Amino acid sequence: MRSDFDETRRQLLAGSVALATASYARHGLAATSSGSPTPVDEGTVAGGRVSFPAIDASTEQPGAPPPNPDVPGQRVGFAVVGLGRLALQNILPAFAQSKHARLTGLVSGDSEKMRVIAAQYGVPKEACYSYEEMARLRNNASIQVVYVVLPNALHRDAVIQAARAGKHVLCEKPMATGPEEAREMIAACREAARKLMIAYRCQYEVNNVELAKRARSGELGDIQFIDAINSQNQGDPTQWRQIKKLAGGGSLPDVGLYCLNTARALLGEEPSEVIASIHSPEHDPRFREVESTVSFILRFPSGILANCASSYSAHEQRNFRVLGSKAAAEITNAFAYEGQKLHMSRRDAQAEAKVELNLGVKNQFSLEMDHMALCVRNNVEPRTPGEEGLQDQILMSAIYQSAQTGQPISLKPELRRDAFRGPPPDDRHA
């Protein structure tokens, strides 16, 4: 039966075709014979994926292809452990943009909060666990990965419990509160033959990835210097971040770690020496136990110097600069959740040119979870495995030691490139 709506739609289409035909004729173009869409408009379906051909001129930035997510039942199931700010504000919403991961379980010490969140995200009651019940994760086949989002000092136990329950583990940064804990976590996952990835989201964020690619390709010339700052002004002195037993340290392991890890990841080299200095405002209740500002220099075997700083008492700044012999680059908001801008500066004929690269916006939490999901599915080592987290723990211990002694600290030489990393994420899945 033909409805009024169908009739209106037909008239509308007929009208559009007539208008388009007249317009084509005016421009000397042949009109299509009917109003039916062509493959250019409809796209094509092949191998379970939908694609569209480019419709803009080759001079234009190519549009992003459709994401083509896996069907929900085939995605790798994740249980999130610890329903705090990062989990609720960033990680759980990011599953909506994930292509290979889905939320299938929750672990929390607060059953009422967990009930509310489980209802919001459609997690069944049977897939909600307390910390004491984590061994029962073993019986839930819909959970393949456990994502640990707890205060730093609690990572170790949760990772070990998850591995012993037969689950792969994604663990928030900093991996632990010191190298010994990190080694135990690696050993437990190895023993259980489970993967361990540390959630270094900046190694999956598109602007950081692009800059690392360009720097490594030689586009900036020989890299001379890196300048990295990550600061934020902390409030409530009672939060776990200001308690040494739970945090392991102050601004260094929380935000300074991004400067350290991003410099290492961009260069692929490991520092041969660190020198550091620390300052905390006196009589400030926030810094009774942990430090505020840490300034540290990393010296790399190639001679490159990275000047890094973190603070818990300075206004938010999260910038990363790389100076090469031919060009300089800067990512503003480099370590933020969003708002990254990548600028490149170089000579252009008789002028100095500064260009901003628009790489599009992608949720870095979804990208890192998708990387973990694919590593599990394809049995590949994650780009940022436990060993990458351990190396940062070793370097942060050296940074504290240097600040304490006032002396530079030499590190065990490591001349392998990307010594502690797995293969980079496969672009075809991004």
For the annotated catalytic residues, the residue numbers are: 173, 258
Span 127-156, contacts to ligand NDP by CB under 6 A: 149-152, 154
For residue 52, state whether it binds ligand NDP (rule: CB under 6 A): no
* Nearer Cβ to ligand NDP (201/214): 201
Q: Which two tokens stand for residue 110?
A: 């607060």
Residue 286 has φ and ψ, to the nearest 5°, of: -70, -25
For residue 240, state whether it binds ligand NDP (rule: CB under 6 A): yes
> H helices of 27-110, where?
39-42, 85, 92-94
Alpha-carbon gap, residue 100 to 102, rounded angstroms: 7
For residue 254, state whether it binds ligand NDP (rule: CB under 6 A): yes
For residue 250, state whether it binds ligand NDP (rule: CB under 6 A): no
CB of 99: closest distance to ligand NDP in angstroms? 20
* Nearer Cβ to ligand NDP (130/401): 130
Three-state SS at 390: helix
* Nearer Cβ to ligand NDP (199/263): 199
Name residue 408's amino acid.
P
* Nearer Cβ to ligand NDP (204/300): 204
Pick from 99, 102, 201, 318: which binds ligand NDP (CB under 6 A)? Answer: 201
CB of 242: closest distance to ligand NDP in angstroms? 11
Name residue 405's amino acid.
T
Residues 6+ apart with CB under 8 A from 114: 83, 106, 108, 128
Pick from 98, 104, 108, 311: which binds ligand NDP (CB under 6 A)? Answer: 108
For residue 172, state whether it binds ligand NDP (rule: CB under 6 A): yes
Pick from 76, 83, 374, 390: which binds ligand NDP (CB under 6 A)? Answer: 83
* Nearer Cβ to ligand NDP (159/328): 159
Pick from 17, 86, 323, 411: which binds ligand NDP (CB under 6 A)? Answer: 86
Q: Are 240 and 281 in contact (CB under 8 A)?
A: no
CB of 283: closest distance to ligand NDP in angstroms? 25
CB of 97: closest distance to ligand NDP in angstroms? 16
Bridge pairing between strands 101-107 and 76-81: parallel
Residues 6+ apart with CB under 8 A from 407: 275
Residue 178 has φ and ψ, to the nearest 5°, of: 175, 165
Please state, as a whole number, how many other Cβ atoms lie within 10 Å of the Cβ of residue 59. Answer: 5
For residue 256, state whether it binds ligand NDP (rule: CB under 6 A): no
Which residue number has the CB closest to ligand NDP? 84
Partners of 351 in the beta sheet? 348
Which of 223, 285, 271, 247 lies closest to 153, judged by CA? Answer: 247
Q: Are 322 and 211 in contact (CB under 8 A)?
A: yes
CB of 200: closest distance to ligand NDP in angstroms? 8
Per CB under 6 A, the segment of 34-42, 84-92, 402-410, 421-429 that binds ligand NDP is: 84-92
* Nearer Cβ to ligand NDP (85/138): 85
Per CB under 6 A, the segment of 107-115, 182-190, 225-233, 347-355 that binds ligand NDP is: 107-115
* Nearer Cβ to ligand NDP (149/342): 149
Which of 162, 210, 198 lies closest to 371, judged by CA? Answer: 198
For residue 161, state whether it binds ligand NDP (rule: CB under 6 A): no
Count of residues near ligand NDP by CB under 6 A: 21
Q: What are the distances in angstroms from CA 86 to CA 94, 115, 188, 364, 402?
A: 11, 18, 25, 13, 31
Alpha-carbon gap, residue 137 to 165, rounded angstroms: 6
> H helices of 337-421, where?
364-378, 386-405
CB of 199: closest distance to ligand NDP in angstroms? 5
Per CB under 6 A, the segment of 80-88, 184-192, 316-324, 381-389 that binds ligand NDP is: 80-88
CA 238 to chain centre: 28
Name residue 391's amino acid.
Q
For residue 110, state whether it binds ligand NDP (rule: CB under 6 A): yes
CB of 221: closest distance to ligand NDP in angstroms? 32
Q: Which two tokens stand for residue 111?
A: 């059953």
Per CB under 6 A, the segment of 51-59, 102-110, 180-188, 263-271 that binds ligand NDP is: 102-110
Q: Are 155 and 183 in contact (CB under 8 A)?
A: no
For residue 199, state whether it binds ligand NDP (rule: CB under 6 A): yes
Partners of 233 in the beta sheet? 313
Which of 91, 260, 245 lies closest to 181, judged by CA? Answer: 245
CB of 165: closest distance to ligand NDP in angstroms? 18
H helix count then E strand count, the chain: 13, 17
Q: Which residues bind ligand NDP (CB under 6 A)?
A: 82-87, 108-110, 113, 149-152, 154, 172-173, 199, 201, 240, 254
